[in-house]
Copies of this chain bind each other. A is one copy, B any other.
Amino acid sequence: MDRRTGLPIVGMVGAGQLARMTHQAATGLGQSLRILAVDPDESAALVGADVMIGSHASYDDLVRFATGCDVVTWDHEQVSGEHIRRLAAEGHTVLPGADALLFAQDKQRMRARIEELGIGVPEWAAVSTVDDVESFAEKHGWPVVLKVVSGGYDGRGVFVVSDVKTAQPIVRQGIPLLAERFTAMSSELAAVVARSPYGQLAVWPVVETVQRNGICVEVLAPAPGLDDGTALAAQQAAIRLAIELGVVGVLAVELFRTEDGLLVNELAMRPHNSAHWTIEGSRTSQFEQHLRAVLDYPLGDTRMTAPAVAMANVLGGPPEGPGIDERLHHLMARWPAAKVHLYGKQVRPGRKVGHVTVLGEAIGEVRATASAAAGYLAGTDPS
């Protein structure tokens, strides 16, 4: 509890753009997010008043950080379960807790648990040798998708291999891997839900996520052309997973839409790129909702503020030509309705340095605007 304000203190471990945008939401709720940053130049550390420099990998730093927080939550999945358990055992409130986070940290445990619950996942097997990969391919065909069991994100740690020869160097690194059937899908969806300790649940409309090279480039809300039955099934899967896995806070469930129905691809237990559109596009943003959930406040209204919302990531281009400030001038002149979010990160090719959201009546139009504006800002699109 902050004695100056009479309001709670939420600590977020990690200082990326998720913590940055959570601080914006915390400010509205009368709080100031406490942030654990590795470096003072990280995205959230540049804007937060209450920043501690330390490592999420050090238990000493974590416990020093947690002391005085009403609740500690996560900007990323890279905190060890053992450390989280120890924090909880010492009386700190850590949400989501280690038992839930495990399923966002370990893809093998996650897939096994989801199967157990009778929710679809792509066919998979743990693999540790090239022979394992080959026998998986004999059953399910090439190409095979190899994924690192933990630590992958944004397409890193995911390899599509078309034969034994390309699989070899990956398997031989000795990192725990799983093999997954290469799924023919019509689209990728995300169902995002928030759950409070009390058990309240609030789900946003299901969105389509558009990937390029394994990185999310666009999110379309609501998912275009999605029938009500499939949308409901996706929301129900997300709600069921939030309850069964004991998630508190925001849970993002990434799904493949296939001929055989919905298959869960990934889980994230924190605010997620697939719901950045909620800042302007929903009555309650995922950042505010995450705070409300971990504080056990009642959850906010998740209705959309416009019929169609598109979000496009700004993936930094080559550092040539006009700088980001000059590009921003042009963007604002050309697309006055585009809402820009810049994360204060140095531009590097392919790096997520911001996003653009556009609200409107028809998804085609808002998608085209968001995509053009984000591409222009990144310097990768000449339009």
Q: Does A48 contact B (CB under 8 A)?
A: yes
Which chain A residues numbered 1 to 53 have a C-beta less than 8 Å away from chain B? 1, 4-8, 20-21, 23-24, 26-32, 41, 45-49, 51
CA distance A8 to B346 in the complex (A): 14
A30–B342 touching, CB < 8 Å: yes
Distance of A342 Cα from B283 Cα, bound (Å): 17
Residue A292 at the B interface, CB < 8 A? yes
A141 on the interface (CB 8 Å rule)? Answer: no
**A7 and B301 contact, Cβ closer than 8 Å, known pairs A30-B343, A340-B28:** no
Q: Decide yes or no whether A341 CB sits under 8 A from chain B.
A: yes
Q: Which residue in chain B gives the minimum CB-CB distance to A306? A: B305
Q: Are B29 and A20 in contact, CB atoms less than 8 angstroms apart?
A: no
Instruction: Let me know if A329 is at the binding interface, CB within 8 A.
Output: yes
Q: Is residue A300 contacting chain B, with contact meaning CB distance below 8 A?
A: yes
- A362 contacts B by Cβ under 8 Å: no
Assess whether B28 is in contact with A24, with CB atoms less than 8 Å apart.
yes
Of all chain B residues, the one with the shortest Cβ separation from A353 is B30
Q: Which residues of B contact A8 (CB under 8 A)?
A: 325
A210 within 8 Å of B by Cβ?
A: no
A57 at interface by CB-CB < 8 Å: no
Contact B298 A41 (CB under 8 A): no
> Which residues of B have CB within 8 Å of A325?
1, 6-8
Contact A46 B46 (CB under 8 A): no
Complex CA gap A285/B34 in Å reads 26
The verdict on A299 contacting chain B, using a C-beta distance below 8 Å, is yes
A324 interfacial by beta-carbon distance below 8 Å: yes
Chain B neighbourhood of A359, CB < 8 A: 283, 305
* Also in contact, A7 and B47, with CB within 8 A (given A30-B342, A305-B306, A305-B359): no
Task: Point out the residues of chain B lying under 8 angstroms from A4, CB to CB.
Answer: 41, 46, 344, 346
Asked if B41 contacts A45 (CB within 8 A), the reply is no
Contact between A297 and B30 (Cβ–Cβ < 8 Å)?
A: no
CA distance A8 to B325 in the complex (A): 8
Q: Which of A116-124, A165-173, A221-229, A330-338 contacts B (4 or more CB under 8 A)?
A: A330-338
Interchain CA distance A359-B30 in the complex, whole Å: 21
Of the candidates B6, B292, B345, the one whose C-beta lies within 8 Å of that of A323 is: B6
Given A5-B344, A51-B49, A30 and B324 touching (CB < 8 A)? Answer: yes
Question: Is A245 at the interface (CB under 8 A from chain B)?
Answer: no
| Additional pairs, 5, CB under 8 Å, beyond known A305-B305, A305-B359 | A45-B49, A47-B49, A283-B337, A292-B332, A305-B306
